[in-house]
C-alpha cells in the first residue's frame, strides 16, 4: 500500500496556482476530490493529478499547431526552390 501525500487547501491552491474561491468552485463542480479529517479539508497528490488530467481532457485544442504547420510548409517550399 502506498501512502499518498496530503495537502491542505492552502497548499493545494499554491500548487495549482489558483485562488481559494476557485478551489472551492472546482470542488463543488465535482472536478476536484477532497476529504475531511475533523474540520480540516485535505487533498491527496493523486486527487490533484486526477484534477489536472480532467482539465487537460476538456481543454480546447490549441490553435498554434495549424500555424506551425503553415510556416513549416512555406519553409519546405523555399527549400525546394533552391
Number of H helices, E strands in the chain: 4, 3
- The answer, yes or no, to whether residue 3 has pLDDT greater than 80, is no
In angstroms, the CA 5 to CA 34 distance is 12
Quick one: pLDDT at residue 67?
Answer: 62
DSSP secondary structure code for residue 6 in this structure: E
The 10s digit of each residue's pLDDT in 36-53 is 999 999 999 999 999 999
- Give the full edge-to-edge strand order of the sheet including 35-37: 6-8, 40-44, 35-37
Domain spanning 6-81, CATH class: mainly alpha
Amino acid at each position: 500500500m502506498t501512502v499518498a501525500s496530503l495537502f491542505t487547501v492552502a497548499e493545494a491552491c499554491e500548487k495549482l496556482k489558483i485562488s481559494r474561491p476557485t478551489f472551492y468552485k472546482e470542488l463543488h463542480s465535482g472536478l476536484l476530490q477532497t476529504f475531511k479529517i475533523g474540520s480540516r479539508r485535505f487533498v491527496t497528490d493523486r486527487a490533484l493529478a486526477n484534477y489536472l488530467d480532467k482539465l487537460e481532457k476538456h481543454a480546447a485544442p490549441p490553435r498554434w499547431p495549424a500555424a506551425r504547420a503553415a510556416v513549416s510548409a512555406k519553409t519546405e517550399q523555399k527549400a525546394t526552390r533552391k
